[in-house]
Every structure is written in C-alpha cells, then in structure tokens.
Amino acid sequence: MQTLTQRLANPTRFMELSARLLPWFVAASAILLVYGLYLSFFDSPPDYQQGETVRIMYIHVPCAWLSMMIYGLIALSSFGLLVFRHPLADVSAKAAAPLGAAFTFLALVTGSLWGKPMWGTYWVWDARLTSVLLLFFLYLGLIALRSALEDEGAAAKLTAVLALVGVTLLPIIKFSVNWWNTLHQPSTDFGATVDPSMRLPLLVMALAFTLMFFAMHLKAMRNEILRRRAKALRTQIIMGRDRLAAQGAAE
C-alpha cells in the first residue's frame, strides 16, 4: 500500500491530480475572497480607536500568516528532498519561495501603510516588524542562491540545506530580536483581543488567502514540471540531431 506522498512521486500522476484539484482551489479561494472582502469592508464595525483603518488588518494578517506558513512549507519540502529524495519536493520548494517572498513583502507593505495612521510613521523598529523583515531577507537568500547556480540538481539540494539552516536559526533570530527590542523600548502590545464581529471576516480572509496560495503553488509546480519536461525534450532533440549528423558523416 503506497502512501499519498509516494504515489505523488510520479510526476504524471501529480499532473493529473493537480489538474483536477486546481479549479476547485481557484473557485473556493475566489468565492471566499469575495465573501471575505465583503465582510471586511461592509459587514464589520470600524474599530472604536482605529476607525476605518482597522480594515487593513484583514489583508495584513493573512499575508503575515502566509509568510510564516510558506517558510515552514519550504523547510518541509527541503527535508523531503534531502532525506527522502522525493522528486516533487524540490519542485514544491522552488515554486513556493517567490510566493513566500511576495506575501512577506505584502505583509511589510500593508503593515507600514497601517502603521502610518496608527503610529504616525511608516516604519518602527518593533520586534515583530524586524523579524518579518529578516524573514524576507531569508527568502531573498533562497531565491538568489538558486538562481546563482547553473546545475539544477545541485541548486535544489544546496537551497534545501540553506532552508534548513534558516529554519533552525529562525527561533534564535526571533528570540534575539525580541530581546533587542525590549532592551531599547518597552514592548507595546498592539495585539488586543479580537472582537467576534471582526474575528469572522479575519478567519474567512485567512482561509481565502491560504487557498489562494495553494492554488498559485499548484499552478507554479505544474509550470515547473512542464518547464523541466520541455528542457528534457530539448536536450533529447539536440542529442538526436547530433547522432543523425554523426551517422550522415559516417556514410
């Protein structure tokens, strides 16, 4: 009896399954996104302190959540590649890195847009902001290392090593940043308890964003598999042409 991950090791089977799943993911995330946006813009109260700007939260929090979840996914895929040599693990890690960087960037941008009316400045060196910024740098490192290496197999494994190093050091980095901030200024607790009327739109948006990420991730993985197939075909064609030319020369 094969487990699901073992069965998915066959790229053809993965392509079939993902082709069937993808429309459902897209539809579900689109419906939830529309519903969530409606809830967050029209059917939730403005905050008694923050007013209408609190609505930025419904975009900001899902992005921040995804920025962490995607790094976890990359670390998991890297582990799968290095330990189990799962053929799709690298495809997954490669497809997830730019998406993760994008969501982390969105979390930073929406956060600073929210910060301007609330704290009076676009950027404060708050512990949480700083650790998200460092997470963004880790994503950039992953993308840069992969693009700098020509051999795709080695690039995959080296990036996986870097991802695992990053995930082991992440708690230490996070802890040190917290420590650093509390040293310089008293930590400000912005995360007050959330009212139920705001919790529902937030949950819906978080779910919609997560599904949206998985839809994009599946699509990116399919693209990557197709790209690799196209590359393999191209080398086959070139090799075949060379063989024909060699035969022609022999005759």
Partner 1 sequence: MTGVWALLHRDLRLAVREGGAIGTALGFFLIVVSLMPLGLGPDLNLLARIAAGVLWIALLLAALLSLNRIFEADYEDGTLDVLATGPLPLELVSAIKALAHWITTGIPLAILAPVLGILLNLDLNAYPVLVGTTLVGTPAVSFLGAVGAALTMKTRRGGLLLALIVLPLYVPTLIFGISAVSASAGPSGAGSSFLILAAVSLVTMVLGPVAAAAALRIQIQ
Residues that bind partner 1 (CB under 8 A): 82, 134, 137-138, 140-141, 144-145, 148-149, 151, 154, 157-158, 161-162, 164-166, 168-169, 172-173, 175-177, 179-180, 183
The strand pairing partners of 47, in sequence order, are 51
Burial readout 127-137 (b: 16 or more C-beta within 10 A, e: otherwise): bbbbbbbebbe
Q: How far is CA 14 from CA 111, 118, 126, 226, in A?
A: 37, 46, 43, 12
CB of 82 to partner 1, least distance (A): 8
CB of 132 to partner 1, least distance (A): 12
Question: By C-beta, is 30 or 82 nearer to partner 1?
Answer: 82
CB of 187 to partner 1, least distance (A): 15
Neighbours of 62 (CB within 10 A): 27
Question: By C-beta, is 148 or 250 nearer to partner 1?
Answer: 148
Question: By C-beta, is 41 or 180 nearer to partner 1?
Answer: 180
Which residues fall within 8 angstroms of residue 90, CB to CB, at 6 or more apart? 77, 81, 156, 157, 160
Nearest to 73 by CA among 51, 49, 95: 95
Question: By C-beta, is 157 or 228 nearer to partner 1?
Answer: 157
CB of 14 to partner 1, least distance (A): 25
Are 224 and 77 a contacting pair, CB within 8 Å? no
CB of 153 to partner 1, least distance (A): 8
Question: By C-beta, is 109 or 158 nearer to partner 1?
Answer: 158
Q: Which amino acid is it at 99?
A: L
Q: Which amino acid is it at 198?
A: M
